[in-house]
Amino acid sequence: MSWASAVKTKAAPKALAKAVEFNLAEIDWDRLVTLDFETYYDQDYTLKKLSTSEYIRDPRFKAQMVGIKIGRSSTKIYSAKKLKSALKAINWATHSLLAHHAQFDGFILSHHYKIFPKRIYCTLSMARGLHSNEIGAGLDEVSVFYGGKGKIAGGLQPTMGVLDWPPALVKTTSVYCRNDVDECFRIFMLMQPKMPSDEIDLIDVTCRMFTDPVLRLNIPRVETELKRELAARDEALLAVLPLIDKTDPDLKKGWTKAERELTGRAADLMLVKKQCGSNLKFADLLRTQKIDPPVKISPAWIKNGRPNDNTKWSFAFAKDDQDFIMLPEAPEKWSSDIDRNKKKSVIELAVRAAVIRTLIDARLAVKSTTNITRAQRFLTAGANGMPLPAYYAYARAHTLRWGGGDKRNMQNLTRGGELRLSIEAPAGHHLVVVDSGQIEARTNGWLWDQNDLLAAFAAADAGTGRDAYCLMASSIYGRVITKADTIERFVGKVVVLGLGFQMGAAKLQLTLAKGALGGPPVYFTLQECENIVHKYRRLNSNIVRGWDICKGIIEDMAAGRSGSYKCLSWGAETIWLPNGLTLKYPNLRRATNEHGYEEWSYEAGDQRKKIYGGLLCENIVQALARIIVGVQMLAISRKYRLVMTTHDEAVACVKAAIAQMALDFMLKCFRTPPKWCADIPLNAEGGHAENYSK
- pLDDT at position 14 is 38
- pLDDT at position 370 is 84
Find the mean pLDDT for residues 157-181. 97
- pLDDT at position 19 is 57
- Give the single-character DSSP code of 424: E
Between 453 and 338, the more confident residue is 453
**DSSP secondary structure of 158-209:** GGTT-SS--HHHHHHHHHHHHHHHHHHHHHHHHHGGGSBHHHHHHHHHHHHH
Find the mean pLDDT for residues 32-56. 97
Residue range 100-141, pLDDT digits in tens: 999 999 999 999 999 999 999 999 999 999 998 899 999 999
- pLDDT at position 414 is 80
Helix (H) or strand (E) holding 392: strand 392-393
Distance, CA of 243 to CA of 364 (rounded, Å): 17
Residue range 345-358, pLDDT digits in tens: 667 777 888 888 99
Instruction: State yes or no: pLDDT of 340 exceeds 60.
Output: no
Between 580 and 332, the more confident residue is 580
- pLDDT at position 303 is 61
Question: Do 390 and 410 contact (CB within 8 A), yes or no?
Answer: yes
Please give the distance of CA 234 from its chain centroid, rounded to a whole number.
28
Strand 216-217 with 403-404, pairing: unpaired
Distance, CA of 8 to CA of 449 (rounded, Å): 20
Instruction: State yes or no: pLDDT of 570 exceeds 70.
Output: yes
Between 593 and 531, the more confident residue is 531
Confidence band for 204, pLDDT divided at 50, 70 and 90: very high
* 9, 439, 452, 534, 659 from 199: Cα distances, Å: 31, 20, 33, 40, 27
Between 510 and 226, the more confident residue is 226
* 237, 239, 281, 344, 352 from 348: Cα distances, Å: 23, 19, 26, 6, 6
Question: Do 579 and 198 contact (CB within 8 A), yes or no?
Answer: yes
- pLDDT at position 11 is 36
Instruction: State yes or no: pLDDT of 426 exceeds 70.
Output: yes
Q: Mean pLDDT score of the chain, rounded to an integer?
A: 90
Sign of the CA dihedral 665, 670, 676, 681?
Answer: negative
Find the range with the poorest average confidence among 122-136, 273-287, 379-393.
273-287
Instruction: State yes or no: pLDDT of 682 exceeds 90.
Output: yes
Find the mean pLDDT for residues 177-204. 97
- pLDDT at position 333 is 67
Distance, CA of 137 to CA of 133 (rounded, Å): 10
Residue range 602-647, pLDDT digits in tens: 998 878 899 999 999 999 999 999 999 999 999 999 999 999 998 8
For the chain, list the domains and their CATH numbers.
29-195 (3.30.420.10), 219-371 (no CATH), 443-620 (no CATH)
Instruction: State yes or no: pLDDT of 380 exceeds 70.
Output: yes
Instruction: State yes or no: pLDDT of 367 exceeds 50.
Output: yes
- pLDDT at position 253 is 82
Distance, CA of 442 to CA of 273 (rounded, Å): 44
